[in-house]
Each structure stands twice: as C-alpha cells, then as structure tokens.
Structure 1
C-alpha cells in the first residue's frame, strides 16, 4: 500500500534542504558562488568556468553577545542587482562601471538571533561582509573571532609575504608590511615568523586558476586583518592583529556599535592574470567617508633621504633637492625625517618659502609615534594626538605645505586604524595630502579618504640602499608587485634609482643590477599618484639624457591600465594610459633574455618611442613602428626592460 502522507513530507524535507543551499553567478555567468549549511555550519565555495577555485570554505563570526559559527540555518535570502559608475583620480583607472549580483543571506542561530551575510559577485570579483543588527537592547559588541576562511584545492601554490611578529626589526617598528615574497610555494609551509601572512595573497590554482585574496573598507570601526598560517589541506583563515602590536596598546579584537558592518573580504578570480592586475574591487565596494576640502593635485617629487640619507636633512642639501625638483619641473620636494632638530621651525619656514620661489611645493615627514616604537627621527609626538596634530597642521597650512609623509605605525589594531583615519580626516581639514610609510596595506582608502595618496607597505626602495640582496632580487620583486601588492592599492615605493652605486657620490655602497631602462620602467610599473622618485642631483649629468627627459615627462596618474603578459616573479608587461598618451612597460626577472609575442592594439600602426637594452644592459632610445595589426615581437634582457611611448 502506498503511503500518500509520505510524499508531501518528503517534498517538504526537499524544500528545507534546498533552502539551505543558495548560489549566485556573476553577470557573465562564469563566476559562481554557492552557500550551504552543513551540520549547522555555514560554508561557501567558488567556481570559475566550472573549475573549483575554492572548495567548501567556512564563514561566520563569534561575538561576545552571539555565536554565528554553529547551529545555524538559512532563514531568508534576497537577491539584488548592483549597477554603479564612479570616477577616481588616484588608482589604476579613472572611470569605473561596477556591475554585480548581490545575495543577502540571513542566518539564524539557536537563540533565534540573526545576522546578514552580503555577497557581491561581479565578473571576476567577489566581495562579502557581515551585517550585524542590534540584539534587543544590546547596542554594542566585541567580535571575538571571524570564522571566515579560504579553502584552496590541493594543486594550489602560493605567492605570499609573512606577517611579522610585533615589536621586532629596526627600533621595534614591525609589523610594517616590509617582508620578502616566496613565489609558487607549497600550501601549508610555515611562514617566516609563524603568525600568518599579510594581505593581499595570490594563489595559483592548478594550471589555469588564479585567486587574489584581500580585504577592503577597513576604517576606525574595525581592525585590519591578515591570513592565518595555512594548513597542508589548503585552508587559510582570517586572523586578527597580535596582542603585542603597537607596544601592547589597544585590543586585538574589534569593538563595534550596533548595527554594524564588517570590512569586505575580497576575491579576484580568473583563469588568467589579466583580471588580477586590472581589478578595481577594493574601490568598487566602498564609498567616500567625507568630502575633499579642496581639489588635490598629484605629481612627482624629489627626495634627498633615499640616496643621501640622514646627513642630507640640513638646509643646504634640501635646497639642492628643491633645485633638482625645479630643474625637472616636479611639483614637490619631500623634506624627510630629522628636520626639526637639524633645520628647525624658523629655518623650515625660510626653506618652504624658498621652495615656493622655485614653484615647488613641499611634502614634510613626521613620525607617527607616541609610545609604540623606538624610532628616534623627529618630529615625534606631533601626529599621535588630536591637540598636537591640529596645531601642527595649522602651521603647515599657513606655510603652504601640500602634504605629509607619516611613518612608523607598526600595527593593525582598531586603535591604529583610528589613528590612520584621524590623521587623514584632520589633514583634509587643513588641505593636506597624506602618504603613509612603515605602515599597513591601504584597504580601499583611495576612494574612502579623498586626501589619501599612497602607502609604502612593501619592501621598498630604501632596501636597495641598505642591502645588496635587495638589489640582486630587484627584478624578481618588481615582477611580483603588479600582480599582488600594487593590484589592490597605491604603492609608494620610491622608484627610479639612476645611480649605479647607491651612495651620495655614485661611487660606493650597494650595486644596482638592473638597467637604466628597467629603472624608468618602474615609474610606469608602480602605481602611486604622488611618486617620490629616487633621482639624485648628479643624475642630471651622469645619467643618459634620454632617461632624464623621460623622467621629466612620465605622469603619475592613469586613466587606464591594461595587462599585456607576464607571470609573477618572472616577467611583467603592462600598458597604462594618461589622457591620450600610452606607456607600455615590460621587465624581465629571468636569468635569460625573454622573447614575447604581444598584442598592443593601443599602438597599432603607430610610430612610437622605444627604450630598450642590449645584452650588456646598455640602454638606448630609438623610434620604431608597431604593425597595423598591433602585434609585436619584443625581447627583454635579464634585469632589463622595454618601454614604448606614444
């Protein structure tokens, strides 16, 4: 006898099971994200063109007032379409059209408390975050742990740089996001310091899969995070800051007022590297937090400290670099750390007035420190409190200073994120642009803060002065940055070292291994709207004339960025456009010359200026013509580069 009562019961069970799994596709249908509940725990997975990019990966969080990591069910779901356009003047492109599909999943725990998880899926990009409501009369909470993880297939290799343990390194200033990358490493290998990896992280899934993992939208209402140590099975999870950061000041866990949203976790997913290099997801998901107090203008700067070091922070040497900026027609000159003691406030006013007489606007260096490291450079104690900061910024504005470079932060806690935000907000009130050094990764800040212009957060050019190893690895490191660090935010590297020897007189110190054209190429390869170039006064006479001419004309802002070819750690070719002028820049980190067949439709049929190297790395300039098809065959020497300009 048939059991007719069993049929609707089975149907109901089927519907319940179905409700516990939801999926959403990108507008082009290639990228898919699925959400499921398994034994009361939430998971998501990601496929691209049917290839698994992330296996079932955990998500959820634990707060002091609610647990959204277990005993969960999907209560409701809602789908939306996102279609936004915006313009930017400080990232890799100026006009952005963001189209995405949104899935809002409401999870309910055993206490019938709810939380929303918002997933946005655009072509090649995913962003997701948690939206936490109030719980009755509870209007605040502490996020004790994020369960969020990224579970990669076994065939994945990694391109990661380690998170440093707190209060180590020079004058106890770490973590400062200044560690070396390991390319194509095996998942699960312990990191250098044993505390995980900094964002962003690049993962190579099999032969054809790529995933770039990062976060965006971090402000004073949350801490910055990083990736945990990975398991050999491929799971990396969100990790909060370490307790000892910033000399123990502040909590490692974020405290939020309810309702609240967490930062976005971001994934750029593709079967090639083009979407990785060109992604704008860090900026698509955020909004400006305040209006600019004025129009900010960007450009190029000289910088005495990089080549002449601490002894150059005196009045006469700063005049020499202001004169260099004037000769190069640069907008800015940076007066670096130590000026308070070596020049003094009264002479600084005289120096700033001299800069203005040469049509050069100063950037001025400050130590962020109040109590969290031993870095001795002055001015100290002028940026860490609102009272001191506003007094200093009022003086800077009265002198016509255009921007600050603030250094030595050493932590990712919420209290440090608040310091970043307070410096930026106060600086905007006084019409000052901000560059951060010795600092964390920017996380959507170009769009969030209109006077933010860049962060170091990379093993930057100063290390070319300090160690020969950095010079030996310069091409390798440079070939990584467009795919990883510079893919997610502005990178104030301080490039273009035209000295062959890295000291004041170009006759001692560390030895540059790369060609002149390689150095010029980094002016295009590295994106930052204000570039502190490492050119020295002697380069006006000892560098090739074409190199100086190139550096006089190369822009620092871009309307378009196009990936041409490359592989992280081996070589990279990309094109950038400023107005109607194209720069195509390629570098080679391999030990042998590389010959590539590339497609350059932006230069098709045009006469271009070509900069290249011979086998001895002797650089030269010539005029050449690109075929009407736009196809070109190029050869790049080891430690060398090629540039086309039209």
Structure 2
C-alpha cells in the first residue's frame, strides 16, 4: 500500500512539472514546477537564454503554509487582450496582450492556492489568490517569492533603511542612494534589503527590472530582502521599525484574498525597461474620477528659498512668476498654516486665481509617526479631519495637495494612501505624494 500511495502521488504531481507559458511573440517564457515535496519554483527564459534561475514561490499564513506540501489540482491558460487609457502617465493609450497561466493547488489544510503568471512581450506579472471553503479571513506572514540570478549579474539598486532614521525620524522615504554595478548577492548597506524598482544587468547584456504593483489597503508594500551568496533575492515585508513601530508588519484581510503583483520586465536593451507599462497593465480602477484632473507645470519657492519662503509676499512673487511663465499652478509648501495663516489663505488663493494660476497646498501626513515640525499636521491622518480640510479647500478652489513624510509600507500606511486618494477624489482634488513609497499602480487604480 505504501508503494501504491507513493506512485499515485508522483503521478498526481506530473501535470504541473515543466508547465510553461510564453509571451505572445514567443520570446519570453515562464516555466512552473512542483517538486516532490510539494514546493513551487519557477524560471524565466528570454530568447532561449536563462534570465531568472530556479526560484521559489509561495507564502505562509495564519490558515496554513502555501509554500510546501502543495498538491496540484488543475491549470489553464487564458489570453488577455485589454485596451485602456492613461491620462497622466508615460503613454496615453495602451493595448495590453498577454498569456495567463493559472495553476491551482491545495495545501495540507485543503485550502486553495492559485498561482497566476501573466506573460506579455517583455513583461511578466505574478500574483497569488487564496480561497477557503470554511475560513473567512487570513493573515499573510511572509512570501517565499524569489528571484535568483546568475553570479555574473550586476545590480543597480537602492537599499531599504530602518524606520525612525534620518531627519526628524522621517525615514524610510525612498531617498537612499543607488549603487551601481555591484555584484549580485552583495549585502545591502542597512541590512534590510532593497527597495523597488530594482534593476539587474546580466552577463549577456540582458536587463531585468523587478517591481511591484496592485497594492491596496488589503496588503503591505513589499521589497527585496537580503540576498544570499548564490544571488537569490526573496520578497520581504515591512520592518517593524517603520511608522515609529505603529502597526503590524503582516497583512490581514478577508477571504478570498489576492496578493499584490510582482513584475519582471526583460529586454536585451534598456528600451523595454523605460517603456514598460507593467505597473498599470494588471490593475483595475478602484473608483471613477470625479472630474477631469488637469496636469501642469508649477512654480515652487521652497526649492530655492526653503521653509522661510513660505510667507505671503514670497508666494505672491512665485504666483506672478507662474503667470509670467504661463504655468498652471503654484505649490505653496510647508508651514503655510503658521507663516501665512489660514485666515489669509482665501485672499492669497484668490490672488493666484485672478492671475490664472491654480493652487496646490502642502500637508504633513503625520499623526504620530515622525517628528517633522512642518504643518499643517493632523489634517490628513484621520477621516473626519481630512474631510473637513478638503471641504475647506474645495470651497476656495484649491486644485491639489502635496502630502509628505510617510514613514513606511505597512498595511496601515497603504490604507492611509488609499483613504487620502479616495477622499481627495470625492472633493475633486488631485494628489502628489512626497517622502513616500513608489506608486505601486495607483496612477490607474
């Protein structure tokens, strides 16, 4: 009986071994494998050359392990053909075509894992979906998703820094220096891995860009963890020090669940890296724009004269400059609440509007996660305060906000980004995030 059981198990895993999905042009290929102990791995080839070596997949959660002891159930391949527009991005019209592999597995608790790969010309997107017949929620503790490169590969990447570091404990702010052409597997400066996007150059002059998209309030923002000596980089969740230690490093949500998308862009030159639309291709809008938001150019006194320039007279000078240059906006930066005052803002905004210039106002995101003194503070971090402030801005015709000093990528912070964007859209205000994570697909979402 033991021999029969083992024989049946091997037969059962055979359909997924060597399962492949290729791009529409046939040049980019992902191969998915299930090992005898039920662990998943994948590899990537481009133009018949290896790009990413055998690398792990899966995740660990409160409802069970989705990394090992998996049993193959089924798979299917779909064709994706999508047209969409991007009014404020690198291209205005996108025709996205890809082949999608969805492979389904059961873990030891009999819950279902769907591993999804979408392969377009030069772009791969990967996500996990989990559902259960008897459970209603899940906490994801970690991902096993990895990217293993040949030892000859070199990197162009920037390190992740701990929370509560830097000026007024405002980091991480995604402002650390990039390293150039370091050997793959080199430890990061701060021991916390590297932020997205991350660029790699292979010995054969192929280029690979790794990033993440599709992050909502239901997940965390991830990064690349510390590599091992063999050149394997695995996904890491936020560090506990982020946001002054406030909030969990895990992601908790209801079932069914979908993770963020990890993206891999591959090319034999840098054009596919620069031109990729992978951040937008696999996401969908979460709500409709309340109006047509108009992008434009802005004058900004802070870049020349810093905090001291945020006074009534200097802002008038930069309003006049915007009008003279035929710029659409002025950005009135930090400390306007104290150095100009709420009581004087209506007349300053009206002065700008009479010159044909619209106004963008700066805000501190902070509630309690940094020591930055600049205000306005405590206006964006809670829904009642935020909506009251946005109602005031709308009444004066303010067109946009710049929100600064975000302190990490925990789920709580992803929720704050989402809430600010949603409320701002309700009041017809566009948003510029600063001192912040990467957009993670939000331009389309």
For normalisation by structure 2, the TM-score amounts to: 0.96
CA offsets, 1:362-393, max 9 Å, x none? 00000000000000001011110011111100
Whether 2:425 is the aligned partner of 1:434: answer no
Distance 2:427 2:106 in 1: 47
> Structure 2: any 5+ residue segments left out of the alignment?
1-5
Indicate the residue corresponding to 1:152 in structure 2: 149
1:115 corresponding residue in structure 2: 113
The reply on whether 1:357 has 2:351 as its aligned counterpart is no
| Cross-structure match for 1:272 | 269
**1:131-142 equivalence runs, <5 A:** 131-136=129-134, 138-142=135-139
Find the partner of 1:253 among 236, 250, 269: 250
In structure 1, distance between residues paired with 2:22 and 2:91:
25
8 Å Cα contact 1:204/1:211 also seen in 2: yes
Deviations, residues 496-520 of structure 1 (Å, cap 9, x unaligned): xxxxxxxxxxxxxxxxxxxxxxxxx
Q: Deviations 1:143-198 (Å, cap 9, x if unpaired)? A: 01111000111211111100011100000000000011011111122211110000
Q: Deviations over 1:461-506 (max 9, x none)?
A: xxxxxxxxxxxxxxxxxxxxxxxxxxxxxxxxxxxxxxxxxxxxxx
Relative contact order: is structure 1 or structure 2 higher (C-alpha 8 Å, sep ≥ 6)? Answer: 2
Aligned residue for 1:24, secondary structure, equals strand
SS of the residue 2:443 aligns to: helix
Matches within 5 A, 1:350-429: 350-429=347-426
Change beyond 3 A, Cα 1:295–1:183? same
Q: Taking structure 1 as reference, are residues 114 and 21 closer, same or farther at Cα in structure 2, changes over 3 Å only?
A: farther
Return the match for 1:68 from 38, 48, 66: 66
> How far, CA to CA, are the matches of 2:268 and 2:418 in structure 1?
36
Change in 2 beyond 3 A, CA 1:117/1:10 = closer
**Whole-angstrom distance in 2 between the partners of 1:14 and 1:166:** 49
* TM-superposition CA deviations, 1:85-107 (whole Å, max 9, x none): 01111111111000000000001
Residue aligning to 1:88: 86
Whether 1:143 and 2:140 are equivalent positions in the alignment is yes
State the match for 1:336 in structure 2.
333
Cα distance in 2 for residues equivalent to 1:19 and 1:204? 30
Residue 116 of structure 1 deviates from its aligned partner by 0.5
Shift of 1:111: 3.2
1:390 alignment partner, SS class: helix
CA contact (8 A) 2:111 2:130 kept: no
**Structure 1 runs of 4+ with >4 Å offset:** 9-16
Query: In the TM superposition, what is the alpha-carbon distance from 1:207 to its structure 2 partner?
Result: 2.5
In the alignment, what sits opposite 1:51? 49
Residue 336 of structure 1, CA deviation: 0.4
**SS of residue paired to 1:377:** coil
The 3 A distance-change label for structure 1 pair 74 and 14 is closer
Q: Could you tell me how far 1:13 is from its partner in structure 2?
A: 6.0
Partner SS state of residue 373, structure 2: coil
Separation in 2, partners of 1:212, 1:277: 10
Which range moved further: 71-80 or 233-242?
A: 71-80
* 1:305 corresponding residue in structure 2: 302
SS in 1 for 2:33: strand
Q: 1:261 and 1:15 mapped to 2: Cα distance? A: 26
Asked whether the equivalents of residues 20 and 74 of structure 1 are also in contact (C-alpha less than 8 Å), the reply is no
After TM superposition, the structure 1 stretch with the greater mean CA deviation from structure 2, 186-195 or 336-345, is 186-195
Residue in structure 2 matched with residue 78 of structure 1 by the alignment: 76
* Structure 1 residues without counterparts, runs of 5 or longer: 1-8, 449-646
Task: Report what 1:574 is aligned to.
Answer: none
Q: Residue in 2 aligned with 1:528?
A: none
Change (3 A) 1:350 1:10: closer
Secondary structure at the counterpart of residue 447 of structure 1: coil
In structure 1, what is the Cα distance between the partners aligned to 2:12 and 2:360? 63
Offset of residue 72 of structure 1: 1.4
SS of alignment partner, residue 297 of structure 2: strand
- Greater Rg by CA: 1
Matched residue, 2:3: none
Q: CA deviation at 1:12?
A: 10
Alpha-carbon contact 2:146-2:232 (below 8 Å) kept: yes
Which residue of structure 2 aligns with residue 180 of structure 1? 177
SS in 2 for 1:340: helix
Alignment of 1:12-27 (within 5 A): 16-27=13-24
Cα distance, 1:343 vs. partner? 0.6
**Aligned-partner SS, 1:415:** helix
Q: CA deviation at 1:248?
A: 1.1
Report if aligned partners of 1:334, 1:362 keep a CA contact under 8 Å in 2.
yes
Q: How does 1:521-560 map to 2 (within 5 A)?
A: none
Equivalent positions of 1:193-204 (< 5 A) are: 193-204=190-201
Map 1:224-239 → 2, pairs under 5 A: 224-239=221-236
CA contact (8 A) 1:211 1:270 kept: yes
1:241 maps to: 238
Q: What TM-score results when the alignment is normalised by the length of structure 1? A: 0.67
SS at match of 1:275: helix
